[in-house]
Amino acid sequence: MRILRVVLYCLLGGLSLALVALGNGGFGWWWLGGIVLSASFVPVALFGPRRALSQFGVIAPVLLIVTVLCLWSEALIFVQAPEIQQHAVQDLVGASVTYVIVAAVLAVLAVILKLPRVDGPKVELRSADKVALLVVVCGLAYVLYYLVFGGITYRFFTKGYYPDAPQLVARLGLWFWVIQIGRGVLMTLAVLPVIRTLRMSRVQAALAVGLIMWVAGGAAPLLLPNPLMGPPTLRFIFTIEILTENASLGITTVLLLRAKQARSVADLRVSAPAHGGL
C-alpha cells in the first residue's frame, strides 16, 4: 500500500506543476517534469518532517533557490536572448509563484497520503560554528565542481552552442566567481533543512540530497518545453553536467555537515563477542 501511495504522490505532485503551467503548451512534458521532480522528494515525504507546514518549509527553499534562482541567474548570464534579458524580473516572480504552489501541494500530499514514517535514526549536525564554516567550504567545492565538470562540458560538447561564453565571463570579471561561490553557498543553505530533518543514515541522506540537487537543479526543468534550451542533445548534455556538479555538491554537503552517528549500545553489545573471540 505504501508503494501505491508513493506513486500517487509522484503523479499528483507532477500534475500540480502541469496544471499551474496550463496554457504554455506541452502538457505531457510539464507533467513528466513534475513527476520526476516529485519523485526526487519521496525521501523527504517518507523520512522528513511529519507535519505539512514543516514539509513545506523543507521543500520550498530547495525549489525557490536551486530550481528557480540558480537556473534563472545562469540563464541571465549565458543566454543573451531578448525573451530572458527584457523580462528577467517577471520570469523570476512567475517561476517563484509556480514552485511555491508545487511545494505546498507536495507538502499536503505527503500528509494526506500518510507517507511520513515514525522510525529512522536521530539526525545531528555538527556544531553551529563548524556548520557556518563548512557552508562556505561547500560553496568553494561547488566552484571546483563547476570549473572541472563545466569546463569539460564546454570544451568538448557545448562550445559550438555558446561561442561567446568566455567573453561574457570576462566581462563580469571577479564578480563571476563571487556569483558562483554565492550560488554554491545558497544551494547549500537551501538543502540544510533537508539535511537536518531527513531521518536516514548519513550515506543514504547524502545520496538522497544529491539526487534532489540534481533533479531540482536541472534534470526536471530540462524536461519542460523551452525553445531557448536548444535541441534534445543539448538538453541531455546539460542534464549530465548538472548531475556531476549538483549531485556532487549535495553529497559533499551532507558528508560535511552531518555528524557521524555514534554507535548505539546495542551495536556495541553485538560486536563485543566477535571482538572477544579474536
For the chain, give the percent of residues with pLDDT over 70: 94
Report CA 110 to chain centroid distance, whole Å. Answer: 18
Nine-digit cell at 270? 553485538
The Cα 165–Cα 169 span in angstroms is: 6
User: What per-residue confidence (pLDDT) applies to 264?
Assistant: 43
Is the dihedral angle over the CA atoms 207, 205, 197, 54 positive or is it negative? Answer: positive
Mean pLDDT of the chain: 89
The Cα 26–Cα 156 span in angstroms is: 31
Could you report the per-residue pLDDT of 206-244, keeping only the tens digit for each?
999 999 999 999 999 999 988 777 788 999 999 999 999
Higher-confidence residue of 141 and 228: namely 141
- The dihedral region occupied by 246, where left means phi > 0, alpha psi between -120 and 50, and beta the remainder, is alpha
The Cα 264–Cα 262 span in angstroms is: 6
* Helix, strand, coil distribution of the chain in percent, nearest 5: 80, 0, 20
Q: Tell me if 177 sits within 8 A of 143, measured CB to CB.
A: yes
User: What per-residue confidence (pLDDT) applies to 263?
Assistant: 52
H/E stretch holding 168 reads helix 165-172
Q: What is the pTM of this model?
A: 0.89
Domain boundaries, the chain: 2-263
- Confidence class of residue 260 from pLDDT cuts 50, 70 and 90? confident
DSSP string, 200-263: S-HHHHHHHHHHHHHIIIIITGGGS--GGG-SHHHHHHHHHHHIIIIIHHHHHHHHHHBPPPPP
